[in-house]
A and B are shown apart, each in its own frame.
Chain A
Amino acid sequence: MRWAEIGIVLLRVVLVFALLLGATIINVWAERKIVADMQSRIGPKRAGPWGILQTVADGLKLFFKESVTPRKAELATFMLAPFLAVIPAFLIFMMVPFGAPFTIGGEEVILQGADLNIGLLFILAMSSMAVYAVVLAGWSSGSKYPLIGGVRATAQAISYEAAMGLAMVAVVMFTATQGEGGTLSLAEIVARQDGTWAGFIPRWNAFPQIVAFVIFMIAIVAETNRAPFDLVEAEQEIVGGFHTEYSGMRFAMFFLAEYVNIFSMSAIAATLFLGGWNGPTWEGTVPALVSAILPTIWFLLKTYLIVFIFFWLRATVPRLRYDQLMSLGWKRLIPAALAWIVVSSVAIGVRQFGVPWGG
C-alpha cells in the first residue's frame, strides 16, 4: 500500500468523523428549533447566531460535570456501555457514500468511509450492536428504571430490526434487477439509482419500493429509539430509561450516539430509497468545483429531509403503549414486509421470465 492511499483513507475517516460531529451539533440545535417552531416557541437563541452554538455549550457543560457512578453499578460494563453506543453509531455511517467519487492528482477518492461489498449487512450488524449498549447500560446501572429501559430496548430492537431487514431485502432484490447481478455495496446501490424513468421521474428505489420505504422509515424511527417509539427512555414512565444513572461525559456519549444514529439512519434511508448523492450536477454549465460539490449537497438535502421527518414526528405523535408497539411491529410491519417481498419478487420474476402460463 502506498503512502498516498493510506493518507486518503485516513482523510476519509477523519472527514466522516468531522461530518458526523458537525451534523450532530446542527441536528440537536435544529431539533430544538424545529420543535419549538411547531409549538409556537422561540427555542435556543442565546448561544451564537440563532443559538446555533447551543449544542457546543451543552457539550462543554456536560464535559465539566462529574460522572456519577451508582454504588450498585457493574463498574466495567457501566463504563463500557457509552463507548459501545458511540462506536457502532459512527461505524454505520462509514458505509454511506456521501458524494460522487472524484480523481485528484491521479488518485481516485471515494467519498465514503469504506466501500464494503457487504455494506448493507454491516449496517444491520452494527445497528444490532448498538442495542447491546442500551441493554448493558440498563443492566449495569444497578437500578430499576434503567433495567426496565434496557429490557424494553431488547424487545423493541428485535421486533423492528426484523422489519427493517425485510424492507432492505426488498430493496436488494429490486436493485439486482437494475444492473449486473445483486449487490450489498451501498456505492453500487446508489450508482444503480442514477438516471430517470420516462425522462423526469428519478430512478429512486422509493418509487417502485414505496411500501418498503414506508416500513423502513417506521423501523428506523423505532431503531433509533425516537418518539413515538422512545419507550426505552420514556421520561414520563421510567425517568430516563437506560441512561437514568448516567451523567457528565458518559451521558453526553449516549446523547451523541442517539443523534449520530438519527443522522446515519436517515443517510441510509436516503441512500437506499432516495438515490443517495444522485442529482443534477449540470456539468459543464457551472464551475467544475460546484458540480463536484453538488452530489454531496443533494445527499445532505435528502438526508435532512428525513431527519426533519424525525423531528416532525417527535413534535406530533404521542408515545405508543408497549403492547401497541409490539403489535405494530409483529402484526403489521413484519407481515407487511413479508407480503411486499412476495409481491415484488413476483413482479420481478414476471418482468424477467414472463408469466408462467405465457409462451
Chain B
Amino acid sequence: MGVITEFLKGLRVTGGTMLRTVTGREMVTTEYPKEKRQKPQRFHGRHVLNRYPDGMEKCIGCELCAGACPADCIYVRGMDNDPESPISPGERYGYVYEINMLRCIFCGLCVEACPTEAITMTHLFEMSTTNRQDAIYTREELLMDRSGNVPHMFADDGMVDREELATADGWLRATAPSGETAYQGVTMWQGTPGPAAWDPEPSQDEIDARTETSDG
C-alpha cells in the first residue's frame, strides 16, 4: 500500500507543477534571445578599455595585463606619448592592444593587474564570430569613444544588447578599497564617462544589515 500512496504523491507533484506552469505561475525557461536574465553583478563579460572624463586613455602601455594573463591572450605594445598631444596621462600609451577572445578564459586577472583601471569587464557575453580573425579584438573594438560609448563589432545586430556593454563588472567596486574600513563606501577611482562610472560598493555593515533582515 505504501507504494501506491507514494505513486499518487508523485502524480500529485507532476500534476501540480503542470497546473502551475499552464497558469503561468511557474516557469524555469527564459526565452533567451527574446528575454535576457539579469546577470550577476560581478559577471565577467567582454573587456573594455576605458578613458578618463577628459577623453584621455587610461591605458599606459605597461603590459602588466599581458603578463598577468594566464591564457596568454593579450598582446600590448606601448609607445611614447607625444608631449605636445598626449594620448594618455602617463609616459606611454597602448599603441597596439589585442585580446584573442578565443583564448581568453575571462578570469579577470588583467583587470586586477591593471594599475590605472584601464581595462575592465562588462556584462556582454555574446561574442560569437564566423571566423577566427574576428575573434581577435583590437583597440578599435575595445576602446570606448570620448563620450563613453563602447564599440561593437556587429552594432546593428538585433541580438546585441548595448546596455550590457555599458554595465561595468563589479569586481573593482568590491575589491578596490585598501582593506581599511575607513574607505568603505568610498569610490576609490576617478570615474569615467562610460562603463566604469559605478556606484560605490556598500559597506560591509550595510551588507550585513541587509542579509540579516532578509534572513528574517
Contacts and interface: CB of A to CB of B under 8 A. Distances in A.
Nearest to B30: A42
Interface residues of A, number: 12
Interface string B1-31: 0000001001101110110111000111101
A316 interface: yes
A317 B6 CA distance: 10
Main secondary structure of the interface of B (DSSP, over half): helix
A295 to B, nearest CB: 29
B14 A316 contact: yes
A316 B13 CA distance: 8
A37 B17 contact: yes
B31 A312 contact: no
A42 B22 contact: no
Q: Which of A37, A39, A315 has the most CB of B within 10 A?
A: A37
Contacts of B21: 36-38, 40-41
Nearest to A318: B10
A292 interface: no
A34 interface: yes
A39 B17 contact: yes
A317 B29 contact: no
Most B CB within 10 A of own CB, among A36, A39, A40: A40
Main secondary structure of the interface of A (DSSP, over half): helix
Contact of A40 (B10, B11, B15, B28): B28
B32 to A, nearest CB: 11
Nearest to B15: A312
A327 to B, nearest CB: 12
Interface of B: 7, 10-11, 13-15, 17-18, 20-22, 26-29, 31
Q: Which 8 A-B pairs have the closest CB atoms?
A: A38-B14, A37-B18, A37-B21, A316-B14, A38-B18, A316-B10, A40-B28, A42-B29
18 contacts: A36-B21, A37-B17, A37-B21, A38-B14, A38-B21, A40-B17, A40-B20, A40-B21, A40-B26, A40-B27, A40-B28, A40-B29, A41-B27, A42-B29, A42-B31, A312-B11, A316-B14, A317-B10
